[in-house]
Amino acid sequence: ASGLLRRSPGPALSLRHRGLGPRGAKALALSLMVDTSILTLDLSDNWLQGEGAAAVAEMLKENCYISAVDLSDNKLGVEGAKAFSAMLLENTTIVSLQLSGNEFDDQAAKYLADAITANSKVEILDLSYNMFGDKAGEILGTAIAENIGLKELKISWNHFHSQGAAALVKGLGSNIFLKVLDVSYNGFGNSGAAALGEALKANNVLEELNVRNNRISVEGALHIAAGLKENKTLKRLNMTRNPIQSEGCCGVLKALQANSGTGIEILDLPLTVFWQHSEEFV
């Protein structure tokens, strides 16, 4: 690991799929502790587990040059979440953090929520492909409401369903920084969509929202439409792969038609048979 580091000039160190494991991570972390040239670190898919994550986290507490870290697909689990959260409570250099695919569950969410609440430096956070459920929705929602730094949050491919989804996006209403939110491939359903609609009414910073594949049907689409009617900032909305039917599509379009101040530039609706109403919107 330290040999690789010596042979890798430049500000970006990418060691994906190298099978580093916890031991490799420890060796690498030791070398990086005093390094001043590396600014971005990609250790995705290295089976680091909690132990390897702890070594990397300790290193990041000392190193004040690395600002972007990718630790996706490393089986970090609760132990990894705890180590990274502790690091984020101290360190203020990290701006971009990719932690997708790390088996984070509701217990891991508790640790991450502490970091999201207190850390105001991280702007890009990817927590997609984890195992967050409804409890995590509540905990992370509260953290999102209080966070004052995140601009982009990806939390797609988790297990947020109705109640948990609603709790998660409730925080969005009070958030005043987040510009991009990706909650695609969860199970929001209509109650999650209703909460999104409410959040859109209150939020005046969000620019991009992805709710692709969330079991949102007509009722949910109309809730989102009600939010769109009272929102100026949203520019890109992805509602594909939801059974919102022609009625839901028309509801969304009518809401935008009624809102002269809408900021929508790109709208992606599911393929559906709504051509029979299309003359109304030409």
Ligand X SMILES: *[C@@H]1O[C@H](CO)[C@@H](O)[C@H](O)[C@H]1NC(C)=O
Binding interface with ligand X (CB under 6 A): 61, 64, 90-93, 202, 204, 212, 230-232, 236, 238, 240, 259, 261, 266, 268
User: Could you give the 3-state DSSP secondary structure of residue 203?
Assistant: coil
| Least distance (Å) between residue 106 CB and ligand X | 27
In terms of CB distance, is 112 or 256 closer to ligand X? 256
> Which residue, 11 or 17, has its beta carbon nearer to ligand X?
11
CB of 112 to ligand X, least distance (A): 18
- Using CA atoms, how far residue 14 sits from 79, 156, 195, in Å, is 24, 24, 40
Q: How far apart (Å, rounded) are the C-alpha atoms in residues 186 and 211? A: 8
- Please give the Cα distance from 98 to 208 (Å, whole number): 19
Q: Choose among 232, 272, 281: nearest CA to 254.
A: 281
Opening angle at CA 194, ends 138 and 97, nearest 5 = 45
Q: How would DSSP label each residue in 18-64?
A: ---HHHHHHHHHHHHTT--S--EEE--SS--HHHHHHHHHHHHHH-S
Residue 175 and residue 165: Cα distance in Å, rounded?
A: 16
Residue closer to ligand X by CB (options 4, 180) is 180
- Residue 138 or 208: the one with the smaller Cβ distance to ligand X is 208
* Closest distance of CB 176 from ligand X, Å: 10
Minimum gap (Å) between residue 198 Cβ and ligand X = 12
- Distance between start and end Cα atoms, the chain: 60
Nearer to ligand X, 110 or 212 (CB): 212
Alpha-carbon torsion, ordered 233, 166, 252, 259, to 10 deg:
-40
Find the shortest distance in angstroms from Cβ 105 to ligand X. Answer: 26
Nearer to ligand X, 23 or 204 (CB): 204
* Cβ at position 204, least distance to ligand X in Å: 3
